[in-house]
């Protein structure tokens, strides 16, 4: 059986970084791991993107986008708009459509963590394998 410690440490570090906003120095001190290793994990797992996604909820993103569209519509009605405003309007409406139809990263991570916790108690080796695969999945999804 593989040693679960590195995967367990990575999982704990990810949670501390993405959910609780802990700094790299705090995490390395707490978990007694190398800072370069932590930074590698964070890069490979897109932890900064996850942290941002968790801090800015889907509803808050939609609220911001709708407010921006409202302002652009006022500009358009007052004939103060230029092509940049039209381009922004198109981008904002596309972003709203994507938020409305796409599963956010946060939801994927939540479900993955619930599943991995459940699986860990049944088959630790398989949970480790799935943990690595979920990390790859999230990284590839964020790159697309």
103-134 pLDDT, tens digit each: 566 677 778 888 888 888 888 888 888 888 88
Residue 13: CB partners within 8 Å, gap ≥ 6? Answer: 27, 31, 33, 38, 41
Is residue 4 very low, low, confident or very high in pLDDT (cuts 50, 70, 90)?
A: very low
pLDDT given at position 48: 87
Any domain includes 120: no
- Is 7 inside any structural domain? yes
| 39 is a domain residue | yes
Question: What's the CA gap between 36 and 23, in Å, rounded?
Answer: 13
Domain that holds residue 1: 1-44
Whether residue 29 is contained in a domain is answered as yes
What is the rounded CA–CA span in Å between residue 95 and residue 87? 12
Q: Is residue 73 part of a domain?
A: yes
Total count of domains within the chain = 2
Q: Could you give the CA distance from residue 29 to residue 48 in angstroms, rounded to a whole number?
A: 20
Cα–Cα distance, 17 to 23 (Å, whole number)? 7
Q: Is residue 96 scored above 70 in pLDDT?
A: yes
Q: Give the C-alpha separation, 100 to 18, whole Å.
A: 23
Give residue-wise pLDDT tens across range 54-88.
Answer: 667 677 778 888 998 988 888 777 776 678 888 88
The model scores a pTM over 0.85: no
Residue whose C-alpha is closest to residue 11's, from 112, 115, 131:
131
């Amino acid at each position: 059986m593989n040693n679960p410690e590195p995967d367990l440490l990575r999982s704990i570090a990810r949670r501390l970084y993405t959910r609780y906003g802990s700094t790299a120095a705090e995490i390395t001190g707490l978990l007694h791991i190398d800072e370069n290793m932590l930074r590698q994990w964070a890069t490979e797992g897109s932890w900064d993107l996850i942290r941002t996604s968790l801090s800015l909820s889907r509803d808050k993103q939609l609220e911001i986008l709708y407010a921006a569209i409202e302002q652009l519509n006022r500009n358009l009605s007052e004939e103060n708009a230029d092509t940049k405003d039209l381009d922004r309007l198109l981008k904002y409406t596309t972003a709203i459509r994507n938020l409305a139809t796409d599963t956010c990263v946060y939801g994927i991570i939540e479900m993955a963590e619930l599943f991995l916790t459940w699986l860990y108690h049944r088959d630790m080796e398989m949970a480790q394998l799935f943990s690595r695969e979920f990390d790859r999945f999230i990284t590839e999804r964020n790159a697309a």
